[in-house]
Amino acid sequence: MTTPLITTEMAAAIASAVAAEIEKHARVEPTLNLTEAAEQLGLSVQVMRQLCREKKIPAIRLEKSYRIKIIDLNRYLDQHYTPAEVA
């Protein structure tokens, strides 16, 4: 009797690795529209639109509207964070 080339454990590990790789590319991340993102930053929709047009905040353009990943909004905030001075 010959031994199998791939054991059950090996097949399960390969399947798990392939599934994880597929999930990375197929995942849908939460997004905000311009109004929602502007509210989160305390900005006007016009200023938010300008930040997206200038690519200061990455945005996904779907037809005539922008969608902004929450992670990109948080990254923008982290990059522009300066602690307020206490009087």
Amino acid at 35: T
Element (H, E) at 62: strand 60-62
Q: How many domains does the chain have?
A: 1
In a domain, 3, yes or no: no
19 or 37, higher pLDDT? 37
Classify residue 61 as exposed, middle or buried by CB count within 10 Å of its CB (0-12, 13-18, 19+). exposed
Give the range among 1-5, 37-41, 54-58 with minimum mean pLDDT.
Answer: 1-5
20 or 27, higher pLDDT? 20
pLDDT band at 80 (very low <50, low <70, confident <90, very high): confident
**Residues 6 or more apart whose Cβ sits within 8 Å of residue 52:** 34, 59, 66, 68
Report the predicted TM-score, pTM, of the whole model to 2 decimal places.
0.61
In a domain, 66, yes or no: yes
> What is the residue range of 39's domain?
31-79
In a domain, 54, yes or no: yes
What is the predicted pLDDT for the residue at 67? 94
